[in-house]
Amino acid sequence: MIEAHGLVKRYGSTVAVNDLSFSIRPGMVTGFLGPNGAGKTTTMRMILGLDAPAQGSVTVGGRSYRDLPAPMREVGALLDAKALQGGRRARDHLLCLARSNGIPRRRVDEVLRIVGLEGVARRRAKGFSLGMGQRLGIASALLGDPAVLIFDEPVNGLDPDGIHWVRTLMRALAAEGRTVLVSSHLMSEMALTADHLLVIGKGRLIADTSMDEFVRSSSQQSVHVRSPGAAELAVLCREAGATVRAGSTSRAAAAPVAGPDPGTAPDVIEITGMDSAGVGNLAAAHGIALSELIPVRASLEEAFMELTRESVEYQAAGAPR
Amino acid sequence: MTDAMIARTGPDHRAAFRASTFGDVLWSEWVKLRSVRSTFWALTVTVVLGIALGAVISAATADAYARFSVGAKLSWDPTGVSQSGVAIAQVAIAVLGVLFISSEYSSGMIRTSLIAVPKRGRVLAAKSLVFAGVTFVVGEVVCFLAFFVGQALISGHAPHAALGDPGVVRAVAGGGLYLTALAVLSVAAGAVLRHPAAAIAAMMAVLFVLPLIAQALPDSWRHPVTEFWPTQAGGQLTNVYHSAHTLQPWPGFGVMCVFVAIVYAIAWTLLDRRDA
């Protein structure tokens, strides 16, 4: 259980995290999602006591991280797989961490076996690939057999096999009743791993929702219609309770009807809240000719981008908004 | 692979674990120190240079003793001469001490360390204590060996010292104590400055550059500087002959220890307050 109340973190004049409150429950994988620079890592650093919040507080199991009597036994964390000294053998790296929390030596060999690094235990970490480094980082998080696990972008640099392995591991850890917090900037990755979603953008909480709910609300179907009588059909659909937006040939640039979006075509509309059969019947009943009638399903990735569109920190010049 | 048991005990039986102690952190820092190659090399350099340089200087000055002026013969300090290697050995200790903590910053390991031990004062204390302990053992071995080798080379050419002579045991053992205080200073300096290059440069300035600049000053400035400059003052512990404008051995070492304590306190405060 991780609980944050009104967390604020500033770096100079930049507000990295702004009034963030959440509670992360055990027994499930919570995906911490947001674009680059949204404040995910900063938030995790505050949970782990590396950064002090300017305001607010965060506790793990009811206690501030610095007050935990045996931190590694309660929280396992992987922030940065490169946060180790390359001159040290993998096994010694884990051993010095184990010793600091009174964890017996045999557990070191155990976690090396779990992450599949027992064969390179005596190799110095600087010769490790990014994927092996990631596995070593995960091994250190598992050392204390903790009830809470925090992983920052754990699949970075992993091959498909490694990604699958991490995904399965997260699910297994959550299934054992542990609290698992995993950050990512990839919705597609979270869709396969997380039960619950915490979405942040520009340091603010945008959504705190179960994965199922997010999928349900975002995979809402819409209907793309091209018709010479689009304006008339729009009025009829609104009367029938549906939502109508001006459409365009490229579906991504959906804007309100009134918007002066140059990309909108006057004869194209997007209708939500009514299926394609409903729209077709309505058009037929009023003698409106349809030249296109296409049911459209938004992907999770698009739903996520739509959600965080306003809060993307670094945006390519001329990117469609 | 994921079929392997992740839990050692299973989540429901996890309740009983003991709190992490300062002893655990000490042990952890010991593993860190012994598991990188730079430790072995730096300590080898300390031992070899400390003994070899002491031997060379002892042999050379003893050989020249016959041609010394009366004044030089009066201030002849065979113990201090045999400890000359400490001046070079201290470089290896200073560099190793600085790197012991600053390389954690340059590699990012410090974040992993502070997540494992969030009570940061413990990390600094354990690092300082482990490195001071290792330095003390190595330092005493170097100083006593250098003394015996040096006296053997001096005898026959010039008056030599024996451990039973007044002040000699204090001077020889003092070499190890001086290196030990320097070890703590180096770790603290590394923690304050965090960048290895900056911290090593600062230590070299304290050890060599500033005392050298003082030599160029007029006597009225030079004498108080050489008297109270921490490493100069602490170094008095390794001499038997007491030269003018220097502190007595123990007060001199006291001045050094106060300086080390001040730097350590700054390191502790910064480590505790700064974001890692």
**Domain A2-216 belongs in CATH node 3.40.50.300:** yes
In a domain, B14, yes or no: no
Q: What is the nearest CA distance from B272 to chain A, expressed in angstroms?
A: 10
Contact A87 B119 (CB under 8 A): no
Question: pLDDT-derived band of residue A313, with 50, 70 and 90 as boundaries?
Answer: low
- Side-chain half-sphere CA neighbours of A303 within 13 A: 23
Contact B31 A79 (CB under 8 A): no
Range scoring the smallest mean pLDDT among A63-77, A169-183, A208-222, B8-22 = B8-22
Range(s) of the domain holding residue B104? 21-273
In a domain, B3, yes or no: no
**Which whole number is the average pLDDT over A240-258?**
62
In a domain, B7, yes or no: no
Can you give the pLDDT at residue A247? 73
Query: What ipTM describes this predicted complex?
Result: 0.90
Cβ partners under 8 Å of residue A89, min gap 6: A121, A122, A123, A124, A125, B35
Are B109 and B45 spatial neighbours (Cβ–Cβ below 8 Å)?
Answer: no
Contact A97 B28 (CB under 8 A): yes
Q: What is the nearest CA distance from A158 to chain B, expressed in angstroms?
A: 16
Q: What is the nearest CA distance from A222 to chain B, expressed in angstroms?
A: 41
More confident of the two residues A310 and B44: B44
Which residue stretches of A39-182 are H helix? 40-47, 71-74, 90-100, 105-114, 130-142, 160-175
Residues of chain B in contact with residue A65, where contact means CB-CB under 8 angstroms, are 118
Q: What is the nearest CA distance from B177 to chain A, expressed in angstroms?
A: 28
| pLDDT above 90: residue A258 | no
Can you give the pLDDT at residue A171? 95
Residues of chain B in contact with residue A180, where contact means CB-CB under 8 angstroms, are none
CA–CA gap between residue B71 and residue B66 (Å, rounded) = 13
Contact B112 A49 (CB under 8 A): no
Domain with CATH 3.30.70 in chain A: 220-297
CA–CA gap between residue A220 and residue A272 (Å, rounded) = 8
CB pairs under 8 A between A and B: 134
CB proximity B119 to A under 8 Å = yes
Q: What share of chain A is helix, strand, coil (3-state, %, to 5)?
A: 35, 30, 35
Question: How many structural domains comprise chain B?
Answer: 1
**Which whole number is the average pLDDT over A184-195?**
87
**Which whole number is the average pLDDT over A123-134?**
92
Can you give the pLDDT at residue B51? 95
Can you give the pLDDT at residue A261? 46
In a domain, B12, yes or no: no
Radius of gyration of chain A (CA): 24
CA A241 to chain centre: 33
CA–CA gap between residue A267 and residue A229 (Å, rounded) = 7
CA A312 to chain centre: 14
A220-297 to CATH, choices 3.30.70, 3.40.720, 3.10.28, 3.40.50 = 3.30.70
In a domain, B158, yes or no: yes
In a domain, B8, yes or no: no
User: Which of B19, B111, B275 lies nearest to residue A69, judging by beta carbons?
Assistant: B19
Can you give the pLDDT at residue B3? 41
In 3D space, the residue among B201, B195, B198, B32 whose CA is nearest the CA of residue B106 turns out to be: B195
User: Which of A70, A79, A147 lies nearest to residue B111, judging by beta carbons?
Assistant: A79
CA–CA gap between residue A199 and residue B139 (Å, rounded) = 57
CB proximity B6 to A under 8 Å = yes
CB proximity B140 to A under 8 Å = no
Cβ partners under 8 Å of residue A228, min gap 6: A267, A289, A291
Cβ partners under 8 Å of residue B80, min gap 6: B171, B238, B239, B240, B241
| pLDDT above 50: residue A154 | yes
Contact A51 B276 (CB under 8 A): yes
Are B256 and B174 spatial neighbours (Cβ–Cβ below 8 Å)?
Answer: no
Domain with CATH 3.40.50.300 in chain A: 2-216
Can you give the pLDDT at residue B19? 92
CB proximity B16 to A under 8 Å = no
Which residue stretches of B108-209 are H helix? 109-116, 120-154, 168-193, 196-204
Are B150 and B55 spatial neighbours (Cβ–Cβ below 8 Å)?
Answer: yes
CB proximity B19 to A under 8 Å = yes
In a domain, B240, yes or no: yes
CA–CA gap between residue A223 and residue A217 (Å, rounded) = 16
Q: Which parts of chain B have pLDDT scores under 70?
A: 1-16
Burial of B160 (0-12, 13-18, 19+ CB in 10 A): buried
Going A82 to A83 to A84 to A90, the CA torsion angle's sign is negative
Cite the beta strand spans of A131-262 per DSSP E: 148-152, 179-184, 196-201, 204-210, 221-226, 243-248
Are B189 and B202 spatial neighbours (Cβ–Cβ below 8 Å)?
Answer: yes
Model's pTM, two decimal places?
A: 0.85
CA–CA gap between residue B135 and residue A275 (Å, rounded) = 79
CB proximity B269 to A under 8 Å = no
| pLDDT above 70: residue A319 | no
Contact A49 B9 (CB under 8 A): no
Q: Tally the residues of chain B.
A: 276
Can you give the pLDDT at residue A219? 63
**Which whole number is the average pLDDT over A10-39?**
93
CB proximity B3 to A under 8 Å = no
Question: pLDDT-derived band of residue A311, with 50, 70 and 90 as boundaries?
Answer: low
Contact A145 B111 (CB under 8 A): no
In 3D space, the residue among B54, B227, B93 whose CA is nearest the CA of residue B236 turns out to be: B227
Contact A100 B4 (CB under 8 A): no
Can you give the pLDDT at residue B4? 45
- Side-chain half-sphere CA neighbours of B269 within 13 A: 6
Are A84 and A136 spatial neighbours (Cβ–Cβ below 8 Å)?
Answer: yes
**Which whole number is the average pLDDT over A293-315?**
73
Contact A50 B14 (CB under 8 A): no
In 3D space, the residue among B230, B187, B228, B189 whose CA is nearest the CA of residue B207 turns out to be: B230
Q: Each residue of A26-82: pLDDT tens digit?
A: 999 999 998 888 999 999 999 999 999 999 999 999 999 999 999 999 999 999 988
Can you give the pLDDT at residue A256? 43
CB proximity B18 to A under 8 Å = yes
